[in-house]
Structure formats: structure tokens, C-alpha cells
Structure 1
Amino acid sequence: MKPMKYYILFFLFLITFGVSAQKNKMPYKDASLSIEERVNDLLPRLSLEEKVAQMRIFHANIGVKSDEKGNMELSDRVIEKLKLGIAGIKNPGEHISPLAAAKLNNELQKYIIENNRWGIPAMFVTESYNGVDAEGCTKFGRPITSAASFNPDLVRRVWDVVGKEARLRGMHMCHSPEADLVRDPRFGRMSEAFGEDTYLTTQMVVNAIKGVQGNYEGLGNGTHIGAVAKHFAGYGQVLGGSNFAAIEISPRTLIDEIYPPFEAAVKEARTLGIMASHGDLNGIASHGNPELLTGILRDQWGFDGYVVSDSNDIARLYYFMKVAESPEAAALLGLTAGIDIDLYAEDSYAYLPEMVKKDPSIEKMIDRSVKRVLRTKMILGLFDNPYVNIKKVEKEVRSQASLSLAQEADLESIILLKNEANTLPLQKGTQKIALLGPLLNEGTKEAFESVAGNKVTFTADKGFELTDQNTGVPQLLETSDSTIDKMVGMAKEADVTILFLGGDEFTSKEAFFNNALGDRASIDPVGAQDELIEKIKGLGKTVIVVLKHRRTLSINTIADKADAILDGWDLSELGDSSLARIIFGEVSPSGKSPVTVPRSIGQIPFHYSMKEINYKKGYLFLEDGPLYPFGHGLSYSQFEYGDLKISNDMITPNTELTVSTTITNIGKMKAKEVVQMYIKDDIGSVTRPDKELKGFKKIELSPGESKKVSFTITPRMLEFTGLTMDKILETGDYTIMIGTSSQDVKTTKFRLEK
């Protein structure tokens, strides 16, 4: 009997080995074949349930973690979900070190591959608002902060690091960057996007995607991750600045201003993914809008990646948007519109297998979506190289080069809003400086001491918190008179006071669907901040304000009382050091405001490129115009703009022209300047924007140095949506404006003739 047992075991071995060998010979495993050939081979092998599994993403917080020894632990719920494979998992290992995350994600990927029939790997997904949103990665400034640099190449280099660090810890996609325009500072997510302007946002989004994807080449070779541009479309335009509210955008504004950053993300940057918007357009919920997600995105622009829902938003077509009669109807709406992956929901695409039994025609749409998901995994090289090289992680994540880049980005993004009587820069001579205010960090004093040297003496006191820091619904805190008096006393003993004011992550944040608020009905600074600066300025001493914030604030009192204001938005982990270096004159500030700063919430909507007729009348009892205009930002030096010179005063649909000016640094310090070009259509067949940014260049000049800056004006720059809703070029006169902000410009004219 014993020999028979061996024969049986040998026979079983041959069967197992044969199946495994046959599986490895399947065409979809063959890296020498084209991606389309591999996908077309794999898709028919999948059962309906396996296909639907490739259309779903769940969050790792339902049961993916490491134990104390670093070994993977999966909940029963996760194990059940992974039996058929999965499209992806959100944020595995986000709260552990990059090395621990890399080990966990390797183990997780191995488990997934070995526990679904066809060995299909999963995509691990992150987000990127201050760099990779995970423990231990380089913390960069937020997108709106980097937009203030007006330096697309710098943004590309920052997101290149983001892409590399994410891939090293085992991630493959990020639900970033945001291509939305943000024009309402009541909106809590304002800082996640790149500002109010179409052209600036387009340049930043394209470079962010190219950076994070390694110029696309970094995807397949395993060095970078794929981008998911979001939220398509119009998400930043929610009524009242309230998350989840309706969206009212005219079709013309949608085409001319909202769509271009997304179109460039698809055509120029080749983004792998698109995320649909929470909102609606013309009453049609974006998650159920086939004209948007298929007609425009795919048929017009040629997008061939995948579309993912925002969190649970397909199911919300039924229970929130109220445009579907049932959860199943919501799933069908999303699928028909062109959404390929359902993010998180258990009450949407999970119903598809049963729905196909009743209507087999649905499976064709499922096949379409699954092909897009599998294709993305092939592009990312996950079938051929699914694991992370552990040896590289500690050396290359949060390296010194990355930290230096974070500070470089800070230094180019900090905006000098005001500098009365050349208050800044401060000298490093003997003086006593008080660092005060609710936005003071624990390490601020140490960072300033490191930059200023031993002749400057610092005292520091945060004084008070703005809120109770509840992550759901934070409450404002009262500030006692004694707290204010103590800070005033410290300022009295100092030669200079630097106040750290503005807002934090609790006063401006995402308003989640349940039990979380982040939008505001006011944009005034909260708490006792105005009272603090009034009392300290009343001492008659120099007051410098450092603004830290995630939404535009109407800082009227601060603007009136401060001698100088540095606007840092939300900087990197080295932000305090960067601020100190600028305050003490090591670097001249060169940031420009990526938004219009209003005097009052009552001026909203209020962006620089509104129609000219919007500026006809002001408001009773309020000074006209913005507190600070779009593109505003001072320097420690001074720049003189020469008269504009134009190569031709006429352009046709088949020609271009060049406009130039000479910029001279007439100051005493080497500095950078952002030269901005705006164009105004003087007379249009439809009402037109007052002006539109169409180009910018950042230059550096030594004292006395001059540089000629030229811009090429093309017919495409002049196109707009006409009376018949078609893109047109219209005969007429145009004004070119070049200068240091949207308001401080020199002008010349040209004419378009056909």
C-alpha cells in the first residue's frame, strides 16, 4: 500500500504543478504581449462576481493592519472581500512608518495574489494634500500654498517626490490632485486645490500629474504612482460654500473656466484616473451623468483611464441626491454614466451580480469598466512586478534632498502682502522679539533661533487655542482677558512682536457626510485674534503678522494694524524655518496670491476674472475692490517694468504675435519676480471676463540687472464659447496687460481679423 500512496501523491503533484504551469503560460501573464492583448485574454476568464470585485475599493480601516511584531492581520470581513480579488484598497499602512508600510503592503499584495483564482494584484490608493498623506513621508505645503509660487516646474518636482515616496511604501494610485477651481472661501476644502484661476490651476495640475506619474514613464517601471484628477466637475462651486450642496454654473462658464484643467489633465498629463464630483450640473447628478463622464470625458477628450466614484456617491444617487428610485437603480445610473469603480459602498455595485441575472445586457457595461481597471493595473506593472523593494525605503523616503525641496517650495510660496516703511527684513543684530499667537507651533521658537543667531533673544507664548480641536464639529473657545494681558505684557518687553494668526486644520476642513462640519458662514478670523493685534499695536511698537490658514480670510483689522504681513497659507514641515529665513532677509519673498482676498464675505462671489459688469457698483459702507488682488505679492527689492512692445498689432486665426517687456531690478537685493500677462476681450458677442491670466514667468534678477520677458499670443488663447455654444474666435480689439499683479499692469492693444 505504501508505494500506492506515493503514486497518488506524485500524481497530485503533477496535477498541481501542471495547473500552475498552465496558469503561468496564460497570455495575460506574458509581459511580451501588448496590454490590450493581455487584458482581452484575462477578462473572459473571470466570473461575473470576480469582475464586479475588480470594480470596488474598500478602506483599510475595516481590518488591514500590522501587529506588534509587524505581521499582517486581516479581519474576517477583509478576508471575505479578498476571496474574489479586489480593484483596490484605500490607505493600507497609512499610520505606520514607510518601512513598516512597505512590508505590510508587500505581504498584503502577496496574500491578494495568492488568494484569488487568477492572481490579480490590487491597487493601493492614497491621497496627497501635504505630500503623501501617510506617516513618515515628507510633509510639503498644501496645493494652494504651492500655487502661490507661480512656479509649475517646482510643483512638478514636489509631486515627483510624492510619487516616488508613495510607490516606495507600496502605493499605486492617489486620489489627487484637485483640478477644481476654488472661488468661495466659505468652502472648507479650499486649500486642497490650486486657487481661483483657470490658467494657473491648469498649469499646476498638469505639472502635479506629470510629477506624481514620473512623466508617465514612472508608472510601469515601478518608481511612481498614478494620479486621479478630481472632482469632475465643478465641485469647488458648491452653493453657499457648503460641502454636498447643489452647484449652479452656467454652461458657458463650465466650458470656458471649469473644464480646461480637467481637459489638460487628460490630454497633456495623461492622468490614469478621474474622480466624479459630489455635485450636480444643471440638475444632473455628476455620478449619473453620461454626457459628462462619457460624452465629454471620453468621446470628446479621449480619456482611456478609469473613473472612480467619490466616497459612497453612487449609492447616494438614491438616498441623498434622490435621482434614483432604488439602490439598484442608482448602481445602474452610475454604471451607465461611466463610473468604473465604486469607492467604499456596500449598497451599490455590490448588487450588480444579482442585477445581471435579471438583465444580462448589464454585463457588457461591467466588462467595459473591468477592462479599464485591468488595463490600469497593467500600466502600473502590477502583474509583472507587484512588490516594493524594501531596501530603498528608509534611504529614499523623507531624504534630505526631499526636505530641502520642501523648504525651497516654501520660500517661493510665501507672500509678502504688506511691508509698511520697509519693516522687513529684520536685522540679526541685538534685539528682543516676542513670538505670540494661536498659530504658533511648538517648534517655532527653536526654528527662529536657529536662523537668527545668538544676538537675537526670543520669547514665545501661544496664548490660546482657537477651538477645542474636535475633529467632527469643533467648538470655538473663549479667551480670557488675563491671557490677552499676559501676551500684551510680553510684547511690551520686546522690541518687535511677530504674531502668528489665521486659522488651522480645525477651522477649515472637509465637511464629511455624517457628523462633521468644515465650512464656515463667515471668513473673519475666529476668536480673539483681532483684539490681540489691536492691543499689541496700541503699544506703539513694530508688529509683524505671519498668516497661517487653509481658507482666504477677510483680515481687515490685521491689514490695518500690522506693519508687515507674510502670508504662508499652510507650509511644509520646515515652514517656520522658511518664514524665519524670509523675515531675517536670507531670501526675498516671491509668492503671489492665487486668490482674490475680499474685504467682506458680502462681496462673494469675488474673483479677479469676473465679468466687467460685476465691477460697476460697489456696496454701501464698504470700500470698493479687494483687500488684496489676485497675483499680488511684494518683494524686498523693487522691479521696474518697461513699456510693452508688440510684434504686430494684428493677429489672424492662422498667425501668432509676441509681446515683450524689460524688467529691471532697481532695488538692492537679489530677488524673484512673477511677470503676469492678462488679456481682455474689449467687446464680445457675449459678456466676457474683465481680464484673464494667459501667461506668467518667474524670473530672478540681481540688483541693477534687466531681463527681457516675452509672451507668445496664439489664436487659441482668444477662443471662447459663443452665442451658439460653440468655441469661436471673434473679430475685435483686445487689451494685453503685463505686470506684477492683476491690478498693477502696463497695457497695449492688438486686433483680431479673419
Structure 2
Amino acid sequence: MTVYSQAQQPKSTTADLAIDQQVKELLQQMTLEEKVAQMRMFHAQIGVELSEEDELVLSDVVTEKLKLGIGGIKNPGEHLSPERAALLNNKLQRRIIESNRLGIPGFFVTESYNGVDAEGCTSFGRPINMAATFNRDLVKRVYDAVGREARLRGLHLTHSPEADIVRDPRFGRMSEAFSEDTYLTTEMIISAITGLQGDYIGLKSTHIGAVAKHFAGYAQVSGGTNFAAIEISPRTLIDEIFPPFKAAVQQANTLGVMASHGDLNGIASHANPWLLTEVLRNQWGFQGYVVSDANDIGRLYYFMKVAESPEDAAILGLKAGVDVDLYAEDAYSLLPKLAREDPSLMEYIDQSAGRVLRTKFILGLFDDPYIDIEAVSDQVRTEEYLDLAKQADMESIVLLKNSEVLPLSTAKATKIALVGPLLGEKDEEEFSSIAGNKISFITEKGFELTNGEGGVPELLSEAEQREGIERILAAAQQAEVIMAFVGGDEFTAKEGFFNNALGDRENIDPVGLQDELILELKKLGKPLIIVLKHRRTLSINTIAENADAILDCWDLSEMGNYALAEVVFGMDNPSGKLPVTVPRSIGQLPYHYSQKEINAKKGYLFAENSPLYPFGFGLSYTVFDYSQITLSDTLMSVDKPITATITLTNSGSVKGKETVQLYLKDLYGTVVRPMQELKGFEKVELEPGQSKQLSFTILPELLEYTGLDMKTNSGKGEVEIRIGSSSASFSSSRFRFQ
């Protein structure tokens, strides 16, 4: 097998050239105001509704905006059923086309962190769950479903997926991205975008365009707080942060890119022509459109303070390469006046408006802008998609610990306590549907983690939590086995907004008295199974020490309990692998498996110098044995790649899936090199006693890095190859690249 994805960037076609000509002709007919209108987007919440009589209701503000046309509208119909959303969007599109002089359609935009961010669509697991599957094809199928469901609602684009590398669990948006690792994130990005876009050919009618974000370095914010400064060395930027975005452009052909909220080494991303034009367009060949993050062009003035006025901010964003202004009324709305004063701006306006129009032609909106409403009801949230969500859940659940407690059976327990603050209302019902009538459940949530205030949630008082712990202990006392649902929820890890809303944390221990709960449950002397649900990495030392088994679930889909129950009762074998490193404490940060080797030479006083759980780790109900590595040669050259082969054997008693991981370690470089780097993986399923031979081809480009002179270094020299079940468990061999 090859370690590269099969996704390829579409070649320029006659149709592309025809679109370019159509865009050119349309631009020639447009006024300055009409061009700028195509460069703006507003949120439907300012006045786009469907009445109870199914009539389109627009506010005066929206009606006025549509007179000149509009680039796009965010989240129209998000709180409606798919059928009514399609009806609304058809009516809205017709109004847009009829309201502007040239009949230019608009595009409608969503987001997709758990599937389509709208009522009535299939709720899938978070992106970080997708990465935990280490299954490219499965992830592509999930995003294919997302793309289809979104288009059936009348949507055309999604401000997803995130190509950010997430390495700081203080950051509240951690689960919106895929991984701490460059290679894994890149592979997930290719799968997600090609799925959403229907391999690009689906954009015309059945799928939606992806908008990869946040370009670039967004998740590397200082202190893990949203909007904070971002400091990344040029070498790290090129070697570790850029590759997922580059793949989004060159391999997955993403239709759009969103600029980052943050700065990049002091340069605001929305005012960075090197980033948005030189790198993205001139070096990588990106032909799509760039959209601002919410209000971020205006923020160049009043937040970033790199512009001295709103007018200066608009000019900075325009010249840097931002094509679409998301939401703001104090940025690109100023461009008509500015362009009359400075006609040289027209070149940039024509470019940006043209890119928006090109996007609309690619999406087929000039040919057929409407949805067949009759087709919606039987194609959204189907049994097929629910089964797909469940399969992705089962492959994303990571078994972190198992002292022969799992899987459960009636021989081990007939009465199980489901307890803890992350217990859901339907958990007992859904577990019972899988367990059958021979197993009964006792449930007690005990307490909520917070008061549920969306902006700045507050922890419940210790008195209230301890009262809840007493209720949990009383319930657990009656059972033979305890399953404790703990971790974090949507209030303890979320996006921190400007308007008095916080989502980041200065501590990565489980919030509240959850560790105390675990210690008290342990005293009962019963098998203790931890179900860990969360949206950020947590330092779970107390849990790891006291639990008999730990199932790390992150944030599962609406089918999550069914998947989890099947894993618990042995109907499915867990196969998820950690997409991040789990540190022992916040004091170890920054802490990812591919740090430079010198970082591991010395640890801290009174602490172990190792992660709690390493990247790529995940147990199984069976045992997989790896043979030693066999190399096709010990000398590699530019025209002679090396093949590394191992044999994987299921030596256990049940069928299982294992992710075989390939890591490369550059032993000597012109600059200090990472400890090791993931460069390939393959997920295989084996019956008991079955063996399979797996081969990885090591291509020269896998060894490239940015050298001492800031140019691409070929990586020639001694290389160690590692193949195993995680970044910490592998066999190794060496070869020389000459």
C-alpha cells in the first residue's frame, strides 16, 4: 500500500474555462455596488423566517440587502425540519434572484461539527471522534452523508472542516478539529472534503462545498484562549501547520478557505497578503474564495488595532486576499465609497467578486438553484445514515484500560448501575434495548457539572455536588457493576465568543468533584467502568488509577449509546485509537508525541516524564501480535523507494480491528528534528488466528523537511522506521536515504 491518499485535484476542464468566461461577462455588466454585494454575507437571524402558513417572511433590513444581490446567507432554516428548510430556501432563493437586477443567486451556508448544524439532520460524532477511527473510507462516507443532507435542505457550503492542529487541551474548541498530528489531520481533511463535495463532481447538484478553516495556526493560541496571540516559528508553520491546508487545496480541491481569527507572529491573518495570496494562491494554486471569520475584517481596526479606521481595515482585508466579509456592517460595506476615491481598488474588487461568482457557477446555482422538496423526507436522517453514525461511533471508542472486566455478560452482572453527571436522559432506555431483559439497570445522575448558563457557566456548589454523590453511592450500592459517566460537556468545553462568553479552561482536570466521586465509588468494592465523555483532553489520573476499565468516547453521535452498549456487552470490539496525547497534568504542556527529541531529555521534579496515554494508543478485546519489520532494502534513493513489511496476527479469541501505524524518525538533520512522525496507517480486521501481511512504501517526500536555510531539505541520511500499535509500542528497523 502507499501512504498517500488517492484523492487528486481535478484538472482544468473545458467547463472550467467556460465558467471563467461566464464570470468575466457577468462582471462586465455589474455595477460597483453589485460587485461588493457579492462580497458580503449576513446571518439569517437578522430576519429570514418561514411563517406557520409557509410564507417567506423577511425583515426590512434583509429586503434592502437583497436589492443589489448578496454573496451568501448563513444558516437559513437552521431550526426548521429538512422539508420546511428546503421550502424556505427555495422561496428565499427565488426572492434573491427576483430582487437583483441581474438575477444572481445567493449561496446558503452551514457548519458541520456533528453533521449538518441544523434541525432534523443526522447527528454524527465530532471531528475528533472521526480521527479516532483512523479509518479514511469511513470518515469520507460520513462526510458524504453530511454533504448530501445539507444540499437536500437547500444549503450549498459549509464553514467546515477544521484543518487546524490541536495540541492544547485548554482550548475550548478542541473537538472541532481532528488531531494533534499533521499527517492524521491531513488524511482526515482529505476524506472530509472529498466526502462533503462528492469528489468535486457532486458540487453541481448533490453535495456542498467545503470551506477549510482556520487559515492558519488558529488552535495554537497562546494560553489556549480564543482570540489570543499566535506565535509559530516559520519552520513549524511550513512543516506542521500548513500541510493539512495544502492538501485541502491541492488534493481535495476545497471550494473555500476561511481565514483565522488570530494573528500569525504579529500579523493579523485577515491582513496578511503573504498568507492569503502568496502562499495560498501563488504557491499552492488555490482558485476558490476566501471568507473572513465572523466580523474579523472590522476587528482589524477595533480589536487587532492594525488599522487606524474601519476604512483602513476594509482595504487591508481586500488587498490581503479576503473575498467575502462575514456579517460585518463596518467593513466591506464601505468599499463602494473607497473605490470611488481610489479606483485602484477595483482590480481587487473584481477579483473577489469574480471568485464568488465562480463558486456559484461551480455549485450549479445559475442552472438549477432550487431543491426538489419531494425528495427530501426519505433521504435525510435515513436508517442507512443512522447505521453509519453508529459504525463511526463504534470505531471511535477507545478502550484505555481493561482489567478483564469488559466485555460484560450475565455471568459477570445482571444488575448494573449507570451513574454520574454525564448520564443522559435516554441512556437507560437505549442500554436496555441492547442488553436485553436479562440485565437490569439502576440510574442516578447525581448532579449536573454546571448551572447550564451558556455564556459563562458556573460550577454547582460543593454542597450540591456532594448531595449528588450520596445519591449516586446509594444507587451504586444496589448493583453488581458500576458504570460511571464522567468527563465534560458542551458547557465545559466550547467556543469563547466576544460577548461575555467563555469556553476555555486554565485547568485540564475533570471539573468539580468528579475525582472525589470516583474515589468514593471505588470504596464500594465493585467493578468500576468509566465512560469518559468530553470535548477536550482531560488529565484523568484518578480515573486511570482507580477504574477497572475506561472507555474514552469523546462526543458520540445520536446513536452513541447503542454503539457504546454493543461495545460494553461484547457485540462489537473497540478499535479506536487516541488522536491526541493524554498528559498527566497541565504542567506538561505543550505535550504532543512528535515534539523535538530534546524535549524528552529531562522531565519535572516529582513527576513521571511520560504521558498518561500516548498518541495512537487503544486496546482491544483480542490480542494482536506484530512480526519484526522486513525492509526491501537498507539503502533508499530518490528513484528507489523502500518497502517495509510486517505480519499482523490476531492471536486472541475474538474478531477485531487494529490500526497499524507507521512512524519515521530522522536520526540526524540540519536542524533539530521531531521525536518521530506518523507517516502512514492502515486499519485491518482479522478473525481469531488470522494473519495478514501489510506493506508500507516509504517515498522520498515523506522525509522532506524545512532545513537550516529555510528551503526544503530532502532528509537524506539515517532513518529509523517504526511500525506498531501506537507511538509508544512498535518494532523498529533502520535504512539510509542516499
TM-score normalised by the shorter chain: which range applies? Answer: over 0.9
- The equivalent position to 1:716 in structure 2, one of 698, 701, 707, is 701
Partner of 1:196: 180
List runs of 5+ in structure 2 lacking aligned partners.
Answer: 1-13
CA distance in 2, matches of 1:176, 1:481: 41
Q: Is the 8 A contact 2:442 2:476 kept in 1?
A: no
Question: What does 1:574-613 correspond to in 2, within 5 Å?
Answer: 574-613=559-598
CA distance in 1, matches of 2:586, 2:490: 20
Partner of 1:403: 386
Partner of 2:6: none
| Shift of residue 32, structure 1, vs aligned partner | 12
Does residue 622 of the first structure (1) align with residue 600 of the second (2)? no
- Match of 1:499, SS state, is strand
Does residue 124 of the first structure (1) align with residue 102 of the second (2)? no
Partner of 1:316: 299
Partner of 1:135: 119
Q: Which amino acid aligns with 1:103?
A: L
CA distance in 1, matches of 2:317, 2:112: 26
Does residue 302 of the first structure (1) align with residue 285 of the second (2)? yes
Q: Which amino acid aligns with 1:435?
A: L
CA deviations 1:275-313 (Å, max 9, x no partner) are 000111121111000010000000000000000000000
Q: Is the 8 A contact 1:31 1:384 kept in 2?
A: no
CA distance in 1, matches of 2:17, 2:86: 29
- Aligned pairs, how many? 722
Partner of 1:177: 161
- The equivalent position to 1:687 in structure 2, one of 672, 677, 680, is 672
Q: Is the 8 A contact 1:428 1:584 kept in 2?
A: no
- Match of 2:377, SS state, is helix
Partner of 2:616: 631
Larger CA deviation: 611-620 vs 472-481: 472-481
CA deviations 1:509-558 (Å, max 9, x no partner) are 00012211000000000112111111011111100000000000000101
Does residue 489 of the first structure (1) align with residue 495 of the second (2)? no
CA distance in 2, matches of 1:143, 1:610: 23
Does residue 370 of the first structure (1) align with residue 356 of the second (2)? no
Does residue 453 of the first structure (1) align with residue 436 of the second (2)? yes
Q: Which amino acid aligns with 2:597?
A: E
Q: Which amino acid aligns with 1:95?
A: H
CA distance in 1, matches of 2:17, 2:401: 61
| Shift of residue 241, structure 1, vs aligned partner | 0.2
Partner of 1:3: none
CA distance in 2, matches of 1:554, 1:548: 13
| Shift of residue 69, structure 1, vs aligned partner | 1.7
Task: Kindly name which structure, 1 or 2, has the bigger radius of gyration based on alpha carbons.
Answer: 1
Does residue 149 of the first structure (1) align with residue 133 of the second (2)? yes
CA distance in 1, matches of 2:542, 2:15: 64
Partner of 1:41: 25
CA deviations 1:397-455 (Å, max 9, x no partner) are 000000000000001000000002x1100014561100000101100001111111111
Does residue 326 of the first structure (1) align with residue 309 of the second (2)? yes
Q: Which amino acid aligns with 2:635?
A: M
Partner of 1:68: 52
Partner of 2:374: 391
Partner of 2:9: none
CA distance in 1, matches of 2:188, 2:715: 29
CA distance in 1, matches of 2:493, 2:465: 24
TM-score (norm 2): 0.97
| Shift of residue 480, structure 1, vs aligned partner | 4.2
Partner of 1:707: 692
- Match of 1:677, SS state, is strand
Question: What does 1:148-547 correspond to in 2, within 5 Å?
Answer: 148-220=132-204, 222-420=205-403, 422-429=404-411, 431-478=414-461, 479-547=464-532
CA distance in 2, matches of 1:689, 1:84: 53
Q: Which amino acid aligns with 2:294?
A: S
- The equivalent position to 2:643 in structure 1, one of 658, 666, 679, is 658
Q: Which amino acid aligns with 2:164?
A: D
CA distance in 2, matches of 1:605, 1:708: 37
Q: Is the 8 A contact 2:396 2:576 kept in 1?
A: yes
- Match of 1:249, SS state, is coil
Q: Which amino acid aligns with 2:408?
A: L
Q: Which amino acid aligns with 1:636?
A: Y
Q: Which amino acid aligns with 2:386?
A: L
- Match of 1:162, SS state, is helix
Q: Is the 8 A contact 2:43 2:75 kept in 1?
A: yes
CA distance in 1, matches of 2:138, 2:109: 24
| Shift of residue 31, structure 1, vs aligned partner | 9.4
Q: Is the 8 A contact 1:653 1:729 kept in 2?
A: no
Q: Is the 8 A contact 1:127 1:133 kept in 2?
A: yes
CA distance in 1, matches of 2:147, 2:675: 38
Judged with a 3 Å threshold, the aligned counterparts in structure 2 of structure 1 residues 343 and 32 are, in CA distance, closer, same or farther, namely: closer
Larger CA deviation: 673-682 vs 32-41: 32-41
Q: Is the 8 A contact 1:428 1:452 kept in 2?
A: no
Q: Which amino acid aligns with 1:124?
A: F
| Shift of residue 67, structure 1, vs aligned partner | 1.2
| Shift of residue 370, structure 1, vs aligned partner | 0.6
TM-score (norm 1): 0.95
Partner of 1:643: 628
CA deviations 1:251-270 (Å, max 9, x no partner) are 00000000000000000000
Q: Which amino acid aligns with 1:644?
A: I
CA distance in 1, matches of 2:372, 2:275: 40
Q: Which amino acid aligns with 2:63?
A: I
Q: Is the 8 A contact 2:444 2:471 kept in 1?
A: no
- The equivalent position to 1:730 in structure 2, one of 712, 715, 720, is 715
CA distance in 2, matches of 1:480, 1:653: 63
Q: Is the 8 A contact 1:733 1:751 kept in 2?
A: yes
Q: Which amino acid aligns with 1:702?
A: E
| Shift of residue 731, structure 1, vs aligned partner | 2.8
Partner of 2:11: none
CA distance in 2, matches of 1:487, 1:397: 39
| Shift of residue 730, structure 1, vs aligned partner | 3.3
- Match of 2:582, SS state, is coil
- The equivalent position to 1:696 in structure 2, one of 662, 681, 684, is 681
- Match of 1:680, SS state, is strand
Query: Please, what is the CA RMSD of the aligned residues?
Result: 1.1
CA deviations 1:224-267 (Å, max 9, x no partner) are 00000000000010000000000010000000000000000000
Partner of 1:96: 80
CA distance in 2, matches of 1:522, 1:54: 44
CA distance in 1, matches of 2:638, 2:34: 53
Q: Is the 8 A contact 2:390 2:559 kept in 1?
A: yes
Q: Which amino acid aligns with 2:281?
A: R
Q: Is the 8 A contact 1:428 1:453 kept in 2?
A: no
Question: Identity of aligned pairs, percent?
Answer: 64
CA deviations 1:140-167 (Å, max 9, x no partner) are 0000011000001111000000000000
- Match of 1:628, SS state, is coil
| Shift of residue 181, structure 1, vs aligned partner | 0.3
- Match of 1:517, SS state, is coil
CA distance in 2, matches of 1:690, 1:397: 45
CA distance in 1, matches of 2:476, 2:347: 71
| Shift of residue 482, structure 1, vs aligned partner | 3.0
CA distance in 1, matches of 2:233, 2:130: 29
CA distance in 2, matches of 1:622, 1:69: 65
